Structure formats: structure tokens, C-alpha cells
Structure 1
Amino acid sequence: MKPASVDPSAAAGRATGYRGVVLVSFGHAESLAAESTDGRPRQNLHFESADHESLRQLKSVLASTFVGVRLVLAGPQSDICAAAAAAAQCGLVQEEIRLLSEGAGTWRVFCGHCHATTSSARGPGSEVDCQGCATTLAITGHFSRRQAAYLGFAAHAEEAA
């Protein structure tokens, strides 16, 4: 994200930078056409999922914005959380991002052992096998906005062998 293009002290009461809204939907998320932008310019984007290519495109769009842009993300929880993490990498803060989740869908679990991310149909309090190291992970309620995933740790680490 670029800094505001006008020195705030020279703005004489005017808002600085781009004040538009970027509306992003994933998967089968309902259209954001009805989402109010309070008369601000809007840009609509739609992706099937938050894969590497779609996140690259989103980062490209956000790189051309200025301070004050607002981002609305709609779709499955795992997709919008991944997109929110990408937006944070571009400099957006939590107050500039609005998440509209379709429901739990799949849960992303970050392995504290090998640092791989695994998708699971079950959420916190359950277990899943890590796709990176095959360790059975206990899914905690701790969510990392930076990783866009819940923390998983070795579920049976304290049991005797």
C-alpha cells in the first residue's frame, strides 16, 4: 500500500489518499453487489479459492491502493482468512478489513512441528493428521492472522510410548 499522495497538513480538511472499497468474493459466495460503499469508488474481484495465483492478484491490486482503502472479503472462512493475511502483508490493518464468512467450511491448521498447513473438516478441539509430517495434530483455538490458520501441536506428545 502506498502512502497518501497528499501531505495531510496541505489537505486543508480534505481526506487524503484513495478512499475506495475493494470487494472480494471466493467460491460460491453471494455477490457483493448489494454491499454499500457509501458512495466511495468500488472494485469487485471474484476468485474460486484463495490459492497462490488469486492471492498474488489480490496483492497486486492492493499494491496500487493508497492509505484509507477498505477491503471486504466474502466466502469460506479458510479463503477469507488467507486473503486477510495477504492484505496484512500489503500493509492493511485489521480496521480496514471486513470479513463476511459463509460458515466454518474447512479449517486451516498450522503444524508447529514442520510448519506445513493442513486443511481439515473439523475445527478446534479435534485432531487431524498433518499433510507435511504425518503427525497427529490437536487443533487449538489459537488463530494466527499472519498464518491464516489455527495452531496444531502433536496430540499425543505427552503419552508414554
Structure 2
Amino acid sequence: MQKALFVSGKRKYLFCADQNGMEILQPVIDLAVAEKAPYEIYSEAQPLIEWLKKQKMGCYLYVAAEWAKLDSLKNLTEEVGFSEEEAQYIGYGERWVKVFCCRCHGITEVILQEKQEIACSECDLLLEVSNHYSRLKNAYLGYVAKL
């Protein structure tokens, strides 16, 4: 499971998560409280996009959600104007990822695990899933597995 890292010295901290995500973010919330920094926790009483639009520059955003929901939340926050330097995205649970084949350029979807080898769904080549991610392809690069 990923851990949230506290980034000190921000104008305000924003926390957006479901119940399980709040458990992940609690140590960071505690650090923000100890630093006496202003913070806000998103409640589902208002739409997320409206809440994000009301925030001012200098805020730092933490989002913790299931992997299945995290991409759409990240897209939403980027649409509002949060950059990668102004936010952390922490996922939990089962994670489906796309793997880009280095031979045929086919895309295979798998549940991500450490040191994983998969067969390409297009050409059947045995691939090792790397940690090299392509934003263009929205996939991790699959290298030829060493036999």
C-alpha cells in the first residue's frame, strides 16, 4: 500500500478521501494539525469540482481512493488546475493496469503485482512489467522477460 508523504510549508492542506482513504491519510492530517497549518477535509455535501474550484493558490491536495476511482479523480483535479507538484494521489485495493508490448505495441490489462511476468494478449510474448509509465499510452512498458 502506498503511503502519503507530508509536504511541509504549504498555505493550506486539502484532504479528499473515502473512509478507507482517510485511514491512510490520518498520519498526514495529524502532521498538518501539529504544524498548526490550515486544512480542510472534503465532505460529500457538495460536488467535488465545486469544492476544488473554491480553493486558492498555494493549497496542497491529498487524494486517497481505490485504484479504480483514482484516475478519474486525478483527471478532475487536473481539470480544475491542480498540477502534479500540488497533489499526491494514493491508491489502495486491487490495481488494474495496462501494459504496452515492446514488440507488437499491443495493450494488455492485468492486475498489478510486484515482479510480474505476463503474456502479451496480441503476440503472446512473455513480458516483464516495468515501472516505466507512459502518459501518452496510459500504460506501463512491458520488456521481454529474461528466461
**Structure-2-length-normalised TM-score:** 0.51
Greater strand proportion: 2
Aligned to 2:83: 93
Would you say how many aligned residue pairs link Structure 1 and Structure 2? Answer: 121
Residue 81 of structure 2: SS of its match in structure 1?
Answer: coil
The equivalent of 1:14 in structure 2 is none
* Residue in structure 2 matched with residue 68 of structure 1 by the alignment: 58
Deviation at 1:110, TM superposition (A): 5.6
* Structure 1 residue aligned with 2:21: 29
Contact 1:110 1:118 in 2 (8 A): yes
Asked if residue 84 in structure 1 is aligned to residue 67 in structure 2, the reply is: no
Task: Name the structure 2 match of 1:9.
Answer: none
Query: Percent identity at matched positions?
Result: 14
Q: Structure 1: 5+ residue runs without aligned partners? A: 1-18, 47-56, 157-161
- Which string of whole-angstrom CA distances, capped at 9 and with x for unpartnered residues, describes residues 94-150 of structure 1? 231134454x73142165757x78452435642266xxxx53684332124x57954
- More helix, by proportion: 2
Q: Supply the RMSD in Å over aligned alpha carbons.
A: 4.2
- Pairs within 5 Å for 1:108-147: 108-109=97-98, 111=100, 113=105, 118=109, 120-122=111-113, 125-127=116-118, 135=122, 138=127, 139-144=129-134, 146=135
The runs of 5 or more residues in structure 2 that have no matched partner are: 1-10
- TM-score, with normalisation over the residues of structure 1? 0.48
